Amino acid sequence: MNCARTCRVQACELASLHGITFIIISRIPRSWMSSLRYVMLALAMSTILMTVPAAQAVATSIELLGVAWDHNPTVYIKLQKGVDPKYRLVVIAALDAWIYALNEKVGSLKFAYVLKNTLGKGETADITITLKKNTGTILGSTTIWSSGGVITKVEITLATQNALGLPLDEGDVFTIAAHEIGHAWGLGHSNDNGVQPVDLMAPTFDFTGSNNVYILPSDLDLRAVLAIYGSDGFAPPNPNPGGIFT
């Protein structure tokens, strides 16, 4: 994987048949602008699917992206023509797994999202998740728009087939969706060493022999989200420290 940084974009090229990426787009304060009206910062990080030996994984830290919601986000799930509707339920299960675990962690019903089954004319959702049959070499991607550290919009794209056109197990789609949703909350990748069992926000995965395993948010992942939002849910005030959480 080769990485290159410019003043506008940090990009990582995938060196694998499969991967997961996310991008953050932020609006820069007016005082930072010169001749440009808007400056776009994009951060692309890849998750390469690879075969690894079975051993205990180690994750002791996770990146915080420095962006956060200031309300319970609305979520709309779109299905490309021909996608099995069962995968929509898998994505909902991934969303619910995060919310249930966060609320269990804080001991009350503080975290929530609003699922939109339909959108009216001109209506949009805070988080749009699009399920596609095949997305080529990228199994999942997340783009985050923010202004002043506040997330304003997130778009997630998920594959339901691998690069060869073969259907993914529901457990694999659940794990990819939950990983991307972690980015949507404001998490980067953990420093997991990539061996089994893998942290949900790890930078490497092995889906070649997963046996339909559902990977749930770890204690580290949950504590990192609470470091961003505190124990009172997505509503402000939020600590949102950014940097590396340990």
Q: State yes or no: cis peptide before 29, omega within 30 of 0.
A: no
Q: What is the pLDDT of residues 29-64, one digit of tens each?
A: 444 333 322 222 222 323 323 223 333 457 899 999
How confident is the model over 123-131, as a mean pLDDT? 97
Q: What is the pLDDT of residues 63-108, one digit of tens each?
A: 999 999 999 999 999 999 999 999 999 999 999 999 999 999 999 9
Q: How far apart are CA 44 and CA 143, in angstroms?
A: 9
Which of the residue ranges 94-98, 162-166, 179-183 would you say has the lowest mean pLDDT?
A: 162-166
Give the list of residues 6+ apart from residue 170 with CB closer than 8 angstroms, or none. 86, 87, 90, 212
Q: Output the pLDDT for position 29.
A: 41
Higher pLDDT, 21 or 78: 78
How confident is the model over 120-134, as a mean pLDDT? 96
Alpha helices (H) along 186-237: 219-229
Q: How far apart are CA 59 and CA 56, in angstroms?
A: 10
- Two tokens at 48? 């390469």
Higher pLDDT, 67 or 28: 67
Which of the residue ranges 13-22, 23-32, 120-129, 180-189 would you say has the lowest mean pLDDT?
A: 13-22
- Two tokens at 237? 């005030």
Q: 14 pLDDT exceeds 70?
A: no
Q: How far apart are CA 170 and CA 167, in angstroms?
A: 9
How are beta strands 187-190 and 140-147 bridged, if at all? Answer: unpaired
**Cα torsion 207, 208, 213, 219: sign:** negative
How are beta strands 127-132 and 19-27 bridged, if at all? Answer: unpaired
Cα angle 165, 167, 172 (rounded to 5 degrees) comes to: 120
How are beta strands 42-43 and 9-12 bridged, if at all? Answer: parallel
Report pTM.
0.80
Q: 245 pLDDT exceeds 60?
A: yes
- pLDDT-above-90 percentage for the chain: 62
Q: 172 pLDDT exceeds 80?
A: yes
Nearest to 24 by CA among 212, 163, 177, 154: 154
Higher pLDDT, 50 or 166: 166
Phi and psi torsions of 31, nearest 5°: -65, -15
How confident is the model over 10-37, as a mean pLDDT? 37
Q: Mind listing the domains of the chain with CATH numbers? A: 3-236 (3.40.390.10)
Q: What is the pLDDT of residues 218-237, one digit of tens each?
A: 999 999 999 999 999 999 99
